[in-house]
């Protein structure tokens, strides 16, 4: 199982760009990298997914270097409402063969006024 490591917490201010890096040194060839966001007392919400290079959607960008051993979630111009826990997920094929998203501790992002 690919293990991920990400900072426990980060602080930022409104209007700044936030970059959260995740390490996944033993990522498998067919593993995708997926990021979820969780607000307090709510279920996780899918943000973005990528395999290599760069992916961008209306919410965030995901940068993946050529070796794929890390990835960086970039949130442009954060606002107070971006305060949440951000999870990086990789791989995790269960014994029965299906892919089960497995959450680590995540990164708690606090955006200050």
Partner 1 sequence: EPEVTQTPSHQVTQMGQEVILRCVPISNHLYFYWYRQILGQKVEFLVSFYNNEISEKSEIFDDQFSVERPDGSNFTLKIRSTKLEDSAMYFCASSWDRKNTGELFFGEGSRLTVL
Where do contacts with partner 1 occur on this chain (CB under 8 A)? Answer: 30-32, 34, 38, 41-46, 49, 87, 91, 93-96, 98-106
The smaller minimum CB distance to partner 1, of residues 58 and 77, is found at: 58
Residue placing its CB nearer to partner 1 in the complex, 15 or 101: 101
Contact 106, 7 (CB under 8 A): no
Cα within 13 Å of Cα(103), Cβ side: 14
Angle at Cα 50 formed by Cα 44 and Cα 72, nearest 5°? 75
- Residue among 43 and 113 whose Cβ is closer to partner 1: 43
Kindly state the smallest distance separating residue 54's Cβ from partner 1, in Å. 17
Cα 30 to Cα 2, 33, 90: the distances in Å are 11, 10, 10
How far apart are CB 98 and partner 1 at their closest, in Å?
A: 4
């Amino acid at each position: 199982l690919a293990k991920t490591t990400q900072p426990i917490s980060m602080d930022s201010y409104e209007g700044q760009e936030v970059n959260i890096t995740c390490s996944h040194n033993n990522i498998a060839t067919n593993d995708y990298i997926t990021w979820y966001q969780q607000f307090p007392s709510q279920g996780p919400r899918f943000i973005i997914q990528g395999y290599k290079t760069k992916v961008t959607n209306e919410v965030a960008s995901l940068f993946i270097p050529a070796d794929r051993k890390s990835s960086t979630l970039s949130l442009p111009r954060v606002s107070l409402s971006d305060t949440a826990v951000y999870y990086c997920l990789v791989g995790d094929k269960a014994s029965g063969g299906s892919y089960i998203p497995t959450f680590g501790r995540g990164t708690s992002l606090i955006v200050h006024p």
